[in-house]
């Protein structure tokens, strides 16, 4: 009987939300959705950032230019309260890199050093290979058993719409250098964390920090990893690796933000954004110029309305996602206003079509789910039954502090073909799908911004699952 009454209450709330009191909000959200499909702002922002700034690794002159670019762009698009928040962030700079198979025959290997790898020294490292087909196989090797070896891990990544294969395959990159070092290895080469069959290698951050013992580490393209795997089955291999890099422990990075000020409750804030930094090997189009562009363009469309929504929308261009630091810095700078941040979301999986919306826990049976589902349905987006669990690396700190988050899930089927490579360029962005992203963000964020919905209260009030479920 209690469950029946709960369902009746939810149905009544849905009817109320969808009634005349909210008809204008729905109409405005639909108009924003349709206008976004024809709007070029996101494309222009992506093109400008990737063309005029280019690769944007933390600590580089290009990243300093990107900071100034972000400020100018937000002001030009009509945002107010534009801020630059500086935070300490050590920087890492890539140097010359090379690798070659020495035995059983000479062959140049196309490699790229993993982000924040330690260098080999000018003479490089030449050693026998210990090859493992999976990360788990390498972990099973006892400590000390790989002494003097160059470890090669050839674990492939599984292609999936939601990108789920990345976490499984990515452990070789993230923790591989530290774990191989524990077992005595002198260097590490991994098959790129990639869903492509390209020879173009993928970089990405690896473990680092005070007290972390690491070794020189790089990634190679998929065909070369497969070739080494075949050769290792026939006999011993030797590889020579050279990596040169430097670290500046006293560098800084910046989070840049601008606002569409709320008309009635300006102190209640919705935080959305993407990350401004990129790796140094490409122009960072899909990762993450498009994320910056999508959220900026969506907020601009809302800001262009005759009347702003009740709540403030803040767009943040996070300044150090690839090697970490943005999230912690943002939370530290905004700790006093955390209770007033009503929602957070980040776009950081490219720009292919959004297919699913995950709401904060407790909102799945609220009227907002029905209304959002109806508005997003023409974009072929459904409201997921599962709650948002991880809206993005840059809002992770906000989530841990209790800020509700959303996930507008993008089709990641081809994203990991290109990200963290020299192929992450503007010609990989599909304009129509980029516009669909903007349409989804603009329409949904408007619905929340012009409402009084309290996602924290919904989570607290959500009934516990029945026993046995």
Provide the annotated active-site residues.
Answer: 321
Burial 266-294 (b: 16+ CB within 10 A, else e): bebbbbbbbbbbbbbbbbbbbbbbbbbbb
How far from 41 is each of 44, 113, 431, CA to CA, in Å?
A: 5, 35, 11
Pull the structure tokens for residue 465.
């699952």
How far from 113 is each of 17, 28, 96, 219, CA to CA, in Å?
A: 53, 48, 9, 6
Q: Please tell me the distance from the alpha carbon of residue 108 to that of residue 101, in angstroms, as a whole number.
A: 6
Pull the structure tokens for residue 419.
């990200």
- Cβ contacts of residue 323 below 8 Å, gap of 6+? 58, 89, 92, 115, 116, 205
Reduced to 3 states, what is the DSSP secondary structure of residue 32? helix
Q: Please tell me the distance from the alpha carbon of residue 347 to that of residue 144, in angstroms, as a whole number.
A: 42
How far from 174 is each of 110, 117, 449, CA to CA, in Å?
A: 20, 11, 37
């Amino acid at each position: 009987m209690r469950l029946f009454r709960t369902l009746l209450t939810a149905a009544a709330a849905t009817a109320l939300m969808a009634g005349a009191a909210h008809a204008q909000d729905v109409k405005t959200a639909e108009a924003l959705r349709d206008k976004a499909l024809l709007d070029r702002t996101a494309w222009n922002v992506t093109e400008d950032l990737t063309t005029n700034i280019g690769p944007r690794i933390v600590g580089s002159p290009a990243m300093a230019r990107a900071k100034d670019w972000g400020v100018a762009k937000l002001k030009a698009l009509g945002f107010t309260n534009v801020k630059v928040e500086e935070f300490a962030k050590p920087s890492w700079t890539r140097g010359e890199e090379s690798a070659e198979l020495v035995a059983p025959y000479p062959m140049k290997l196309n490699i790229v050093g993993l982000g924040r790898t330690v260098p080999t020294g000018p003479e490089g490292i030449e050693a026998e290979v210990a090859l493992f087909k999976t990360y788990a196989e390498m972990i099973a090797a006892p400590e000390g058993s790989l002494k003097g070896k160059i470890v090669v891990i050839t674990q492939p990544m599984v292609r999936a719409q939601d990108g789920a294969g990345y976490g499984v395959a990515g452990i070789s990159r993230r923790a591989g250098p530290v774990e191989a070092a524990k077992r005595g290895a002198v260097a590490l080469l991994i098959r790129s964390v990639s869903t492509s069959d390209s020879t173009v290698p993928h970089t990405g951050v690896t473990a680092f920090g005070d007290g972390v013992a690491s070794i020189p580490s790089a990634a190679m393209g998929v065909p070369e990893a497969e070739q080494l795997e075949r050769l290792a089955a026939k006999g011993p291999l030797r590889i020579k690796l050279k990596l040169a890099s430097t670290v500046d422990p006293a560098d800084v990075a910046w989070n840049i933000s601008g606002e569409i000020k709320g008309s009635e409750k300006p102190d209640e804030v919705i935080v959305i954004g993407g990350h401004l930094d990129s790796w140094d090997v490409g122009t960072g189009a899909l990762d993450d110029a498009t994320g910056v562009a999508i959220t900026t363009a969506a907020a601009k469309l809302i800001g262009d309305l005759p009347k702003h929504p009740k709540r403030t929308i803040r767009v943040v261009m996070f300044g150090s996602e690839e090697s970490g630091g943005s999230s912690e810095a943002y939370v530290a700078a905004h700790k006093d206003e955390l209770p007033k941040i009503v929602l957070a979301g980040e776009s950081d999986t490219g720009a292919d079509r959004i297919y699913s919306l995950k709401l904060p826990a407790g909102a799945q049976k609220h009227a907002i789910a029905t209304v959002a589902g109806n508005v997003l349905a023409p974009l072929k987006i459904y409201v997921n039954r599962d709650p948002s669990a991880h809206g993005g690396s840059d809002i992770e700190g906000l989530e841990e502090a209790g800020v509700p988050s959303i996930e507008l899930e993008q089709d990641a089927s081809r994203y990991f073909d290109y990200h963290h490579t020299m192929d992450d360029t503007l010609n990989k962005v599909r304009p129509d799908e980029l516009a669909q992203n903007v349409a989804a963000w603009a329409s949904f964020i408007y619905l929340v911004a012009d409402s009084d919905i309290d996602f924290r209260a919904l989570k607290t009030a959500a009934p516990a699952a029945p026993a046995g479920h």
